[in-house]
């Protein structure tokens, strides 16, 4: 992603679709060499990227939906979450659990469901490995039509 927040092609490196977390972290460090990249976190939503350049092709016309990773810089700070009216902010933190993004997403969704609420947003807490975390904070909102 460029400094103005737009997706750009990496013309300096010939990199395919990275799947291993350590490879993604290494790539972040290469792309942002002046930054103190310490970890990565998976996005909570998919992003549509146009003008995608397929490996080995010069024409960049392909469009695809991807779930990007964000390169984390410096000391970890959890994302700020907005808590709308009638919604609940909560967290689950357990130092003995070192889980990936998807597992914490499921944990937050289940905590909301147990309250008869929907998971609105969530953010990781305290990294404990590459793209692994020991907690999640989240916002639960009532199902549409429910009044608190």
Q: What is the pTM of this model?
A: 0.76
CA dist., res. 41 & res. 96, Å (int): 19
Angle at 39 between CA 38 and CA 43, to 5 degrees: 145
User: Which residue's structure tokens are 């944990």?
Assistant: 107
For 35, the token pair is 């930054």
What pLDDT score was predicted for residue 148? Answer: 45
User: What domains sit in the chain, N to C, each tagged with a CATH number?
Assistant: 21-73 (3.90.570.10), 88-142 (3.30.1490.140)
Helices (H), the chain: 21-31, 101-113
What's the pLDDT at 64?
82
Q: Which residues of the chain have pLDDT under 70?
A: 9, 11, 14, 54-56, 145-148
* CA 118, chain centre distance (Å): 19
Other CB atoms closer than 10 Å to residue 40's CB: what's the count? Answer: 21
């Amino acid at each position: 992603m460029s400094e103005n927040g737009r997706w750009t092609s990496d013309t300096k490196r010939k990199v395919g679709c990275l799947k291993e977390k350590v490879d993604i972290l290494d790539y972040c460090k290469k792309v942002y060499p002046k930054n103190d990249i310490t970890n990565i976190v998976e996005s909570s939503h998919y992003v549509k990227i146009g003008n995608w350049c397929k490996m080995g092709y010069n024409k960049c016309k392909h469009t695809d939906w991807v779930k990007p990773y964000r390169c984390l810089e410096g000391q970890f700070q959890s994302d700020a979450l907005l808590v709308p009216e009638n919604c609940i902010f909560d967290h689950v933190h357990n130092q003995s659990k070192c889980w990936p993004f998807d597992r914490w997403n499921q944990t937050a969704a289940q905590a909301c469901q147990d309250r008869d609420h929907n998971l609105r947003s969530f953010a990781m807490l305290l990294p404990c490995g590459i793209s692994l975390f020991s907690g999640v904070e989240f916002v639960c909102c009532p199902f549409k039509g429910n009044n608190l």
